[in-house]
Amino acid sequence: MGIAGGPEKCRWLVEELGLDAAIDYKSCKGDSRKFQKLLRSTAKSIGSKGYDIFFDNVGGMILNETLRRLNRRGRVVVCGAISGYNAKDPRKDIVAPRNYQALISLRAKMEGFIVFDFRDEYAAARRDMVQWIKEGRLQFKEDVREGLGTAPENLLSLFSGGNKGKLIIKVGSRTQRRPSSRL
């Protein structure tokens, strides 16, 4: 089960990536009760009570409510918290996890994830991922935008969910290097 912003992204998760279900968090318009009901009903529709693993890039209300849907001995991997990146006053504008006590009763774990902690494994990961892409076992989506001058505007689209995949700013076309002439 996955969570995305908008019906098109949810369709992609189910139809292209093969998830059992996807939740459009935007349909709840920030209402945590609606989101919790949607989490519960979607999990039930696929024969589950909740998550074993939740990989979080968002934080805020989504993290707070998914903590209530963790299975016993579940794990939460925190990789980002984009919901609070533009907060004017972090003390007031960031929704902190209020349901963290669930980690105690569920004997669950919550841990930060930084890719740089695994730099010794980059070569093996690159090799494996190239093979998985060739086999169709790993898929990805890129959203390529043209021009360095559009970078500020396009970067802001990340905060509104305006991108559809990994956002890439194309700044030019590849050119071949000319052989250097030595005198």
Do 132 and 110 form a contact (C-beta atoms < 8 A)?
A: no
Alpha carbons 27 and 8: distance in angstroms, whole number: 12
Q: Among positive and negative, which fits the CA dihedral 58, 64, 65, 68?
A: positive
Alpha carbons 94 and 91: distance in angstroms, whole number: 7
* Residue 179 scores a pLDDT above 60: no
The residue-averaged pLDDT of 37-63 equals 92
pLDDT in tens, 56-96: 998 888 999 999 899 999 999 999 887 877 778 877 777 77
- H or E stretch covering 43: helix 32-45
Alpha carbons 75 and 51: distance in angstroms, whole number: 8
Question: 21 falls in which pLDDT band (50, 70, 90)?
Answer: very high
pLDDT in tens, 86-109: 778 877 777 778 888 999 999 999
Q: How many CB atoms neighbour CB 153 within 10 A?
A: 11
- The overall longest dimension of the chain from CA atoms, in Å, is 74
The pTM of this model reads: 0.77
pLDDT in tens, 151-162: 888 888 877 777
